């Protein structure tokens, strides 16, 4: 009997996990700079939270949730996204009572959607998300977008673009909804059965149907931007003004609607524009959700955030060959020749590690040339060679792999020497 992975899941193996670590490190560092704090919510929640939060008319709730009954006959669901759980925690822990809103939170972890697996689309995937809850200031919208843009920049991704839209406030949306119903009603029988149901439940969903996205009526559907009322238009103008002030390039796409029901006003996505990246080019997306806190039992409190799919970010890093991040190399490899040198290498390795360096050596009695090859395979930035002659003189030879430069250093000082040099290599 042999076992294989469940469809749509992945093992993240050594060699690749280092890219994940680099991304996670960047995420935590940027969260510190933007002053967002980590929140860890359960991986499963009550099913009704997602039905109400994400929305009954969405594909996520209709088709993609991993729901199950526990032994106490409660319906639970593996979280398909992070926002609903974070907002539930915001309400449950009465964070709305804090003097300094917005509450700025971030999370990283696995999410689950029963989707048809393909490159960039999985059944278990990982999201990094941020949520700023408790402010309607358009400057917060721009803080959230600039966080996403800055993260991709720090990860070395150059081929990305930010696409923004406004879905307006409740009254703008009612007017737009009526226009959509009128637009599609006459020819709705040309659409899939899901869209026929969506027509009256939530016609906005027709615009992002995976099956009918090429239908001409989707292409020339009434644009939400023509239905924004004065207040919504002013809000969107302010958001764009701040984006311009920060010199963040963006495109306005009036057809961007997003696949979750809770959005209003600002919504946005960041896409990869690398050629041949595949069908799933959206690295992350988000928007404002001013009614969500109230909808799931809290007081009226506005919010905005984004979620970024980490599998897609890893793929983009690999596709752009953001080499430094992609390499999981070690700092130092110790090459030892002869019994005495082998003994000395054991304590040298320990000193290197105590100095904060990642270090390794050969444990298979390899010859010099084979040890050097092993150092290369491990992506070592420095190699320290301990030979019998060197050891007799109390020195090791430190080789900088990027330049080929070699320096003799007293064995006792090798660790501090390499640690000091590391920044420049």
Interface residues with ligand HAM (CB under 6 A) are 81-83, 113, 115, 121-122, 125, 127, 129, 131, 259-260, 282-287, 305-309, 311-312
In the complex, least distance from residue 155 CB atom to ligand HAM, rounded to whole angstroms: 14
In the complex, least distance from residue 229 CB atom to ligand HAM, rounded to whole angstroms: 23
The residue with tokens 């969506």 is 198
Quick one: which of 239, 245, 195 has its CA closest to 215?
195
Tokens linked to 5: 């992975």
Contact 380, 333 (CB under 8 A): yes
Contact 333, 322 (CB under 8 A): no
Q: Which is nearer to ligand HAM, 142 or 283 (CB)?
A: 283
Q: Which is nearer to ligand HAM, 229 or 282 (CB)?
A: 282
Q: Which is nearer to ligand HAM, 124 or 201 (CB)?
A: 124
Q: Which is nearer to ligand HAM, 81 or 362 (CB)?
A: 81
Q: Which is nearer to ligand HAM, 23 or 372 (CB)?
A: 23
Kindly provide the residue ranges of all beta strands, DSSP E only, lying in 354-405, ordered along the sequence: 359-361, 382-386, 395-400
Q: Which is nearer to ligand HAM, 109 or 156 (CB)?
A: 109
In the complex, least distance from residue 260 CB atom to ligand HAM, rounded to whole angstroms: 6
In the complex, least distance from residue 126 CB atom to ligand HAM, rounded to whole angstroms: 8
In the complex, least distance from residue 176 CB atom to ligand HAM, rounded to whole angstroms: 20
Sign (positive or negative) of CA dihedral 337, 339, 343, 344: negative
In the complex, least distance from residue 208 CB atom to ligand HAM, rounded to whole angstroms: 10
Contact 154, 26 (CB under 8 A): yes
Quick one: which of 75, 67, 102 has its CA closest to 87?
102
Going from the C-alpha of 47 to that of each of 59, 61, 75, 185, the distances in angstroms are: 15, 9, 6, 32
């Amino acid at each position: 009997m042999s076992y294989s992975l469940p469809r749509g899941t992945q093992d993240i193996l050594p060699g690749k996990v280092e890219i994940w670590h680099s991304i996670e490190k960047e995420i935590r560092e940027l969260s510190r700079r933007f002053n967002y704090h980590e929140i860890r919510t359960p991986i499963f929640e009550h099913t009704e939270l997602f039905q109400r939060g994400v929305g009954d008319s969405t594909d996520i709730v209709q088709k993609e949730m991993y729901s199950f009954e526990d032994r106490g006959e409660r319906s639970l669901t593996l979280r398909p996204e992070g926002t609903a759980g974070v907002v539930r925690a915001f309400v449950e822990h009465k964070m709305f009572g804090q003097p300094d809103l917005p509450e700025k939170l971030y999370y990283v972890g696995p999410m689950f959607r029963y989707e048809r697996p393909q490159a960039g689309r999985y059944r278990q995937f990982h999201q990094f998300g941020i949520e700023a809850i408790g402010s309607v200031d358009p400057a917060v919208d721009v803080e959230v977008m600039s966080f996403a843009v800055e993260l991709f920049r720090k990860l070395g991704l150059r081929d990305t673009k930010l696409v923004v839209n406004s879905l307006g406030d409740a009254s703008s949306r009612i007017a737009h909804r009526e226009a959509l119903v009128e637009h599609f009603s006459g020819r709705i029988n040309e659409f899939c059965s899901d869209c026929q149901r969506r027509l009256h439940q939530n016609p906005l969903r027709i615009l992002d149907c995976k099956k009918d996205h090429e239908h001409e009526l989707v292409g020339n559907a009434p644009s939400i931007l023509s239905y924004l009322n004065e207040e919504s238009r002013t809000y969107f103008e302010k958001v764009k003004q701040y984006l311009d002030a920060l010199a963040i390039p963006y495109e306005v796409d009036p057809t961007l609607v997003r696949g979750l029901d809770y959005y209003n006003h600002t919504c946005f996505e960041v896409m990869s524009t690398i050629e041949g990246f595949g069908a799933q080019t959206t690295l992350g997306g988000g928007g404002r959700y001013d009614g969500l806190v109230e909808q799931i039992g809290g007081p009226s409190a506005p919010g905005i955030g984004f979620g970024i799919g980490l599998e897609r970010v890893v793929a983009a890093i690999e596709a752009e060959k953001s080499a430094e991040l992609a390499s999981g190399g070690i700092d130092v490899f110790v090459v030892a020749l002869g019994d005495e040198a082998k003994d000395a290498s054991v304590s040298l390795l320990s000193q290197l590690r105590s100095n904060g360096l990642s270090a390794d050596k050969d444990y298979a009695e390899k010859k010099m040339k084979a040890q050097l090859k092993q150092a290369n395979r491990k992506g070592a930035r420095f190699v320290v060679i301990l030979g019998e002659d060197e050891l007799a003189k109390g020195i090791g030879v430190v080789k900088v792999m990027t330049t080929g430069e070699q320096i003799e250093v007293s064995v006792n000082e090798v660790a501090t020497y390499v640690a000091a040099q590391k920044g420049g290599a």
